């Protein structure tokens, strides 16, 4: 191994599987990858052997390219047995994108949380050719850079339907406290929150495996964003609550299979890091708010690095999330600036 202390984070497989290939990381558990057209250029998917077929965990973003790779996987590492179930951890397109294709074209059972399914189907059906006024108002209220806002207005809005295959009616719900049998193991269902509502995580009762989706990642912190759909949301509170609850389950020997980056051990340490990351960001932000500032003006204390144009949108919605959290906790005041932006200032 790599000489890290037992309590530290370790990566048993330093290299990911090649496209169209799989790595067996435990008996009957295959790790595969699909590409993403963004800075975070991949999503991890997993297949678990159920004897007469496979259960896959997450499905990748909908595109002809990803479906060609799925075809390679089904004729290669998964050959000889059909995919019978797809468990989707949460509603984001890189996880649910091909679920409807599996259902419609392959007769696969979709298993997910009720909230994940409702968000996925609702957002896929809500196609906008022009920016809704509510979204533009939301960007204005967050203090979006005027040049960036004008450029965004000129572009067609992103639609879930661009990257999520049409979803037929029907799914199987799993919820907090359920036990589901997959791959010869019984898994406890524990819901995460913050990055996505009612995010499925699965904890094996029979060995040391955890299927964590994006709730727990090895080397990056998942985005916590606020959007025009719920502009006063507080996903930071949801995130911290979920992390503190899941932290109680964490063991040093757990092998965590996340939605991105590498599988890892050292989960107790990683849970502390994920919680402390946002407490630290909130402390830096509060110190910065000695004068009224909009969310878009607070990237420096939050992220401690330069935010490039391709990251601006995700940075903005995460900044709003942290501002909302401070506002809901009573640590800051909020007033409307002449340009329409909400500005926040710490009390006292």
Give 248-273 pLDDT, tens digit per residue.
999 999 999 999 999 999 999 999 99
pLDDT of residue 320: 98
Instruction: Say if CB 126 and CB 113 are below 8 A apart.
Output: no
How do residues 144-199 score in pLDDT, each as one tens digit? 999 889 999 999 999 999 999 999 999 999 999 999 999 999 999 999 999 999 99
Q: What is the mean pLDDT of residues 108-126?
A: 97
Alpha-carbon distance of 70 to 294, in angstroms, equals 44
Instruction: Say if CB 213 and CB 199 are below 8 A apart.
Output: yes
Instruction: Say if CB 195 and CB 90 are below 8 A apart.
Output: yes
Kindly report the average pLDDT of the chain as a whole number. 95
Distances (CA, A) of 50 to 23, 58, 75: 17, 16, 17
CA atoms within 13 A on the CB side of 73: 27
Nearest to 223 by CA among 311, 141, 283, 295: 311
pLDDT of residue 348: 77
Q: What is the mean pLDDT of residues 334-344?
A: 97
State the Cα torsion 85-87-91-94 to the nearest 10°.
-80
How many contiguous H segments (helices) and E segments (strands) does the chain have?
A: 10, 14
pLDDT of residue 5: 43
pLDDT band at 310 (very low <50, low <70, confident <90, very high): confident
pLDDT of residue 1: 31
- pLDDT higher than 70, residue 101: yes
pLDDT of residue 7: 61
14 C-beta neighbours (distance < 10 Å), count: 8
Distances (CA, A) of 309 to 145, 284, 316: 11, 23, 11
CATH number of 23-125+163-277: 3.60.15.10
φ, ψ for residue 133, nearest 5 deg:
-60, -35
């Amino acid at each position: 191994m790599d000489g890290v202390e037992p309590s530290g984070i370790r990566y048993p497989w330093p290299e990911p599987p090649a496209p169209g290939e799989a790595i067996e990381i435990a008996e009957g558990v295959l790790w595969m990858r699909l590409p993403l057209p963004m800075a975070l250029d991949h999503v991890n998917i997993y297949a678990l052997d159920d004897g007469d077929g496979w259960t896959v965990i997450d499905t990748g973003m909908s595109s002809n390219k990803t479906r060609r790779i799925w075809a390679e996987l089904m004729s290669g590492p998964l050959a000889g047995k059909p995919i019978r179930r797809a468990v989707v951890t949460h509603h984001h397109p890189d996880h649910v994108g091909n679920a409807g294709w599996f259902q419609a074209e392959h007769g696969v059972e979709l298993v997910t949380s009720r909230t994940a399914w409702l968000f996925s189907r609702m957002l896929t059906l809500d196609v906008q050719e022009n920016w809704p006024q509510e979204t533009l108002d939301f960007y204005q209220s967050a203090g979006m850079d005027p040049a960036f806002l004008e450029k965004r207005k000129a572009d067609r809005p992103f639609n879930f339907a661009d990257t999520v295959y049409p979803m037929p009616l029907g799914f199987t719900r799993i919820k907090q406290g359920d036990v589901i049998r997959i791959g010869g193991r019984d898994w406890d269902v524990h819901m995460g929150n913050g990055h996505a509502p009612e995010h499925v995580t699965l904890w094996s009762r029979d060995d040391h495996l955890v299927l964590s989706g994006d709730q727990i990642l090895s080397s990056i912190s998942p985005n916590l964003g606020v959007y025009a759909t719920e502009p006063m949301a507080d996903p930071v509170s949801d995130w911290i609550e979920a992390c503190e609850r899941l932290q109680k389950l964490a063991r040093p020997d757990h092998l965590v299979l996340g939605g991105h980056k590498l599988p890892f051990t050292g989960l107790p340490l990683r849970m502390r890091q994920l919680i402390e990351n946002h407490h630290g960001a909130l402390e830096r932000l509060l110190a910065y708010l000695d004068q009224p500032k909009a969310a878009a003006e607070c990237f420096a204390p939050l992220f401690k690095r330069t935010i490039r144009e391709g990251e601006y949108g995700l940075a903005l919605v995460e900044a709003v999330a942290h501002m909302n959290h401070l506002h809901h906790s009573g640590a800051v005041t909020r007033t409307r600036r002449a340009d329409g932006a909400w500005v926040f200032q710490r009390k006292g």
